[in-house]
Structure 1
């Protein structure tokens, strides 16, 4: 399999506008991705950074599929009292699931695990277990969830909340969110390469998903629909009020034709959606209504 996290970092590469000479920048790892925080004022104090890093560790302890976490306990059949972070994720998952006609479904984890292991994919139940989630209950036998379609975006939002009030800040944990100022971001696609730049306005977020970012040994993509839907786009970039919403929408939109994307875009209150077809042609879907 190719390396998803590195490729997504390239897809989301940022050219930062108006960067002051004394800007403070932190770079590290978060949620399995290369991560960075840029503060134009240069004011990134040790106490603030320590608080941010502790928050990142907390989020990883909720959503990781590769280390013991709240999510792995849930998938192992344990009765779990849901954390605030998991409740936020499930609330958003239900919303995007409904707006995309069921295309976005964290219950695809059994299919993902089967494909990663070269095994036949099992059938996913409707809603993939989401409808059965309540505080302190167990998933049904055979059900499992992945939050990879929105966890990086949610982490970006939660870290942004920790940094509010510090002036122009760009938080990049796989997805990007701007606070207190505007930033220029460079769009990159695996087929078309450079696509130009967009301006990410203060208070807005952007996320990019691409089926080519990780492929199994069989050649199939890591982005999987609950009914076996195949990717239609080389990449999809979504602007939204939050990084979690942009992340979830871009994941689902990879599997959806343009008319269906437009309908979901209106339902979810999204900004422009930029889609690149397999030949490298870029189109922008603007919201009307």
Structure 2
């Protein structure tokens, strides 16, 4: 089975979070002032930005070089669009021996999010995504979508309970399975880069590496202001949050759409395939960007009762 399909997108699973006040969009690779330094680049196909408060040029330059090396290392594990990554090998061969500890860590986080969302966060939806993307990219594609039989075959390969993993081996238990970690890996990379920069002595920074982490209290000591986009195009700010030492992730089922009519979104229900969401935008705030990333992805498929259940479990969620 072909297990990756590239589509043009700003972000695959976290579209709609933008910066308010302290915007990073358009920052140069190192555009420093006396007060701060900024970096921009790419991570898992998404535009990535970092702002460090109180960082001299030479110190920031060394830190950003370390950031780029770490992002490249992590992409060699998690990217679906490079054939040599650990994830691509797992999808192609159905198993990998002696897996990277980072891959095991993300699968463990995914298992926790899977349980907490009642199975709605499920990284094994990749076969359904591929079936939908290949169908709608074909000339003369039926706008109704793939045939019921095609969709049924793809859904039959879905189920996180079919992924077995430990320090020795990761393996799929069913034929045709494949995993995407785009709903959690960006958050994981965000957490790892924040930890790297903390270890280098930075205590006040704003990161958007697919998901957003606000560390410290910002340049005015009042917290970092983060805006949530009104819609997938980012044409307006629906809500502004003030964050300190917190991460935020926003998911929209139709943030990226696969069909010409804009009805079939990239976040896929693991039991039903493409669905019409109850909420256009779901945002989760958490100590961990990876956890916020995964939970916002699963919550994007929930109804009001499901959202209420997450809140009762202590999840800070905005819809």
Where on the TM-score scale, by shorter chain, does this alignment land: which range?
0.7 to 0.9
From 268, 274, 281, the counterpart of 2:318: 274
Report the more deviating stretch, 44-53 or 138-147: 44-53
**Structure-2 separation of matches of 1:234 and 1:91:** 28
* Paired residues of 1:27 and 1:37 also in contact (CA < 8 A): yes
From 44, 59, 68, the counterpart of 1:31: 44
* Paired residues of 2:253 and 2:301 also in contact (CA < 8 A): no
Correspondence list, 1:199-218, <5 A? 199-201=242-244, 203-217=245-259
- CA displacement, residues 235-280 of structure 1 (integer Å, 9 cap, x when unaligned): 111101110011101111110012212212443x422x111xxxxx
* Aligned residues between the structures: 272
* Paired residues of 1:154 and 1:243 also in contact (CA < 8 A): yes
1:6 Cα offset (Å) = 5.7
Correspondence list, 1:153-192, <5 A? 153-164=187-198, 165-181=201-217, 182-190=223-231
Matched with 2:290 is 244
**Structure-2 separation of matches of 1:171 and 1:245:** 16
* 1:144 aligns to 2:178 (yes or no): yes
1:214 Cα offset (Å) = 1.1
Secondary structure class of the residue paired with 1:4: coil
* Paired residues of 1:82 and 1:136 also in contact (CA < 8 A): yes
1:188 Cα offset (Å) = 1.0
**Structure-2 separation of matches of 1:9 and 1:107:** 18
Matched with 1:228 is 272
1:14 Cα offset (Å) = 0.7
**Structure-1 separation of matches of 2:62 and 2:7:** 37
Correspondence list, 1:41-56, <5 A? 41-43=54-56, 44-56=59-71
Correspondence list, 1:2-41, <5 A? 3-5=8-10, 11-16=16-21, 22-41=35-54
Instruction: Write out the 4+ residue segments of structure 1 that deviate beyond 4 Å after TM superposition.
Output: 6-10, 16-21
Query: Compared with structure 1, are the counterparts of its residues 70 and 265 closer, same or farther at alpha carbon in structure 2 (3 Å cutoff)?
Result: farther
Matched with 1:280 is none
Query: Compared with structure 1, are the counterparts of its residues 115 and 154 closer, same or farther at alpha carbon in structure 2 (3 Å cutoff)?
Result: same
Unaligned runs of 5+ in 1: 276-289
Unaligned runs of 5+ in 2: 1-5, 25-32, 136-145, 218-222
- CA displacement, residues 40-70 of structure 1 (integer Å, 9 cap, x when unaligned): 1124433222211111011111111110210
**Structure-2 separation of matches of 1:7 and 1:125:** 21
Secondary structure class of the residue paired with 2:10: helix
**Structure-1 separation of matches of 2:176 and 2:23:** 51
**Structure-1 separation of matches of 2:171 and 2:178:** 10
* Paired residues of 1:111 and 1:124 also in contact (CA < 8 A): no
1:166 Cα offset (Å) = 1.0
- CA displacement, residues 191-235 of structure 1 (integer Å, 9 cap, x when unaligned): 79421311012x210001112221112631100011126222211
Query: Compared with structure 1, are the counterparts of its residues 10 and 251 closer, same or farther at alpha carbon in structure 2 (3 Å cutoff)?
Result: closer
Q: Give the TM-score normalised by structure 1.
A: 0.86
